[in-house]
Amino acid sequence: MFKPHVTVACIVHAKGKFLVVEETINGKALWNQPAGHLEADETLQEAARRELWEETGITAEPQHFLRLHQWLAPDNTPFLRFLFSIELEDCVPTQPHDSDIDCCRWVSADEILNADNLRSPLVAESIRTWQRGERYPLSLIGAFNWPFH
pLDDT in tens, 14-55: 999 999 999 999 999 999 999 999 999 999 999 999 999 999
- What is the rounded CA–CA span in Å between residue 105 and residue 58? 13
Has residue 12 been placed in a domain?
Answer: yes
Domain-embedded: residue 148:
no
67-99 pLDDT, tens per residue? 999 999 989 999 999 999 999 999 999 999 999
Which residues, including other chains, have CB under 8 Å from residue 129's CB and lie 6 or more apart? 11, 66, 67, 83
Given a contact cutoff of 8 angstroms between Cβ atoms, the answer to whether 17 and 90 are in contact is: no
Mean pLDDT of the chain: 96
Closest C-alpha to 109, from 122, 121, 124, 88:
124
**CATH number of the domain within which 21 lies:** 3.90.79.10
Cα 139 versus chain centre, distance: 19
Task: Tell me whether residue 113 is in a domain.
Answer: yes
pTM for the predicted model, two decimal places: 0.94
Q: Which residues form the domain of 99?
A: 5-139
Residue of 121, 140, 148 lying closest to 63 (CA atoms): 140
Whether 135 maps to a domain, the answer reads yes
Residue 19 lies in a domain: yes
Positive/negative CA dihedral, 65, 119, 110, 97: positive
The answer to whether residue 88 is domain-embedded is yes
Number of structural domains (the chain) is: 1
Residue 61 lies in a domain: yes
Confirm whether 36 is domain-assigned.
yes
